[in-house]
Amino acid sequence: MSTVAIRAEGLSKHYRLGAAVQHNTLRDQVMHRLKAFTQWGSGRSEPDPSFWAVKDVSFEVKQGEVLGIIGHNGAGKSTLLKILSRITQPTKGTVDIYGRVSSLLEVGTGFHSELTGRENIFLNAAMLGMRRDEVRRKFDEIVAFSGVEDFIDTPVKRYSSGMYVRLAFAVAAHLEPEILIVDEVLAVGDASFQQKCLGKMEEVSRSGRTVLIVSHNMSIIEGLCERAILLEKGRIAKIGKTQTVVEGYADAIRSQASMSIGDRPDRIGLGEILVTEIDLLDKDRHSVAAAITGRDVIIRMHYRCADGKEFRNCRVSVSVNGRKGQDLFVLSTDIVDPTPLTLRGAGYIDFILPDLPLTGGAYFFQSYIESNGHAQDWIKNVAPFSVLDADYYGTGNLCPPGWEANGVLVHYRWESSDGLERNTLPFRFRENK
């Protein structure tokens, strides 16, 4: 039987919202007591400005196990990792950890802008618990992994943001603890560096060390983790085999997306421009209940601006997400036309998408509006819609027998080594320009 690496029992973390108010003068104290007495006499009370970020969470992790932790924003994932990393003390409950722990929670914490990359490697590694001789032994490997060899003796204040996070992750990734706790850091850098990060995490998981990973990328969770925990509103909603838990997460996304846009409590932004509705239309701009693979479709995003205000330099974006919340593709006003966009009053933006490249199934949108670089309204997993399968390639097939087509389709052709084309199907172009 495997030895336990982490045992959490009844973990809870309570936060009070807003700054604490000090009543330093006699007048402040009298007014505060008078206000409280008045509210008590009227039967009214102030809403409780507090919440439980984590509530009664219990689980065990075996040595050498890779455990995923998933859930929506605000579900309590990061708070739980901070408790396990001993950064935050729980309000209630206990956690026992057997082994040396290293945490990759906020990449780059502890970097000094005036120091060079070389100096920051030694400084940051020491803060993360590495001995100096261990850093010297791994120095060349860390630098090579980061890809900043040519700038290693340059102060990091002159680094680009990409160089900064690559170096920071490279230091943290070369720790050798018994227990590694990782929070969304696999999303740093460009695509090639992200793949390198994923490879490093796979190497760590194969080495027999215990790993806890928080990620919104279900492919990473399914690829690395044997078990997973789904958190909802600070509580464990599901725990068990990764595939089962991820399916539970997909169900939770479906339930959240079905909520009316006006009722969504999780939207992010200043709120002076709001998304009010998202519609699916056909090429004649008639509303449709479902889109069809290979047919033209229009995604109409309705918006409403604050009364009497005009907003310049706006960007309106919508992404299409799969059933597990992953982005499949994004449409944005600034990508195909960089002309500054001004919004006022109420209106809509139409994203016209020819030959819808999606297989049949359930999908969701993610909507986003900004002005002058500030988010106005951002809603994830909103407005569910369905796509019905159709003959996209004109052959009656979408994928080879035994394979499951899922997600985005692409036009393609193939040739053999003798240079002869084996696919004579033409690429389709729209007849009506």
Please state the three-class secondary structure of 353-394 as a single string.
Answer: ECCCCECCEEEEEEEEEEECCEEEEEEEEEEEEEEECCCCCC
Q: Given this model, what pLDDT does residue 424 score?
A: 44
CA–CA separation, 415 and 423 (whole Å) = 7
Question: Length of the chain in residues, anyone?
Answer: 433
Q: Given this model, what pLDDT does residue 297 score?
A: 94
* Amino acid residing at 202: E
User: What DSSP string runs through 60-126?
Assistant: EEETT-EEEEE-STTSSHHHHHHHHTTSS--SEEEEEE-S-EEEESSTTTT--TTSBHHHHHHHHHH
CA–CA separation, 342 and 31 (whole Å) = 47
Q: Given this model, what pLDDT does residue 301 score?
A: 95
Q: Where in the chain is the domain with CATH 3.40.50.300?
A: 52-255
| Fold for the domain defined by 52-255 | Rossmann fold (3.40.50)
β-pair partners for 364:
321
pLDDT averaged per 10 residues in sequence order, the chain, 433 residues: 84 76 57 60 56 91 91 86 88 90 69 90 82 90 90 91 82 80 69 75 80 84 89 92 88 79 89 94 90 93 94 94 84 90 95 92 92 93 88 81 74 74 44 36
* Amino acid residing at 333: T
Query: Residue 97 corresponds to which tokens in the numbers above?
Result: 């950890």
Entry pTM: 0.68
- CA dihedral defined by 157, 162, 166, 167, rounded to 10 degrees? -10
Residue of 73, 59, 18, 17 whose CA lies nearest to 233: 73
Q: What angle do CA 319, 255, 347 make, to 5 degrees?
A: 45
Class of domain 263-388: mainly beta
Q: Where in the chain is the domain with CATH 2.70.50.60?
A: 263-388
Q: Where are the beta strands (DSSP E) in 105-248?
A: 179-183, 210-214, 227-232, 235-241
CA–CA separation, 37 and 193 (whole Å) = 60
CA–CA separation, 166 and 156 (whole Å) = 12
Give the C-alpha distances (Å, rounded to integers) separating 261 from 165, 319, 395.
35, 16, 39
The torsion angles phi and psi of 181, rounded to 5 degrees, stand at: -115, 125
Residue 26: other Cβ atoms inside 10 A = 8
Coil, helix or strand at residue 408: strand
Q: Given this model, what pLDDT does residue 427 score?
A: 41
Residue of 419, 360, 363, 412 whose CA lies nearest to 389: 360
Q: Given this model, what pLDDT does residue 31 score?
A: 63
Query: Residue 156 corresponds to which tokens in the numbers above?
Result: 């990091």
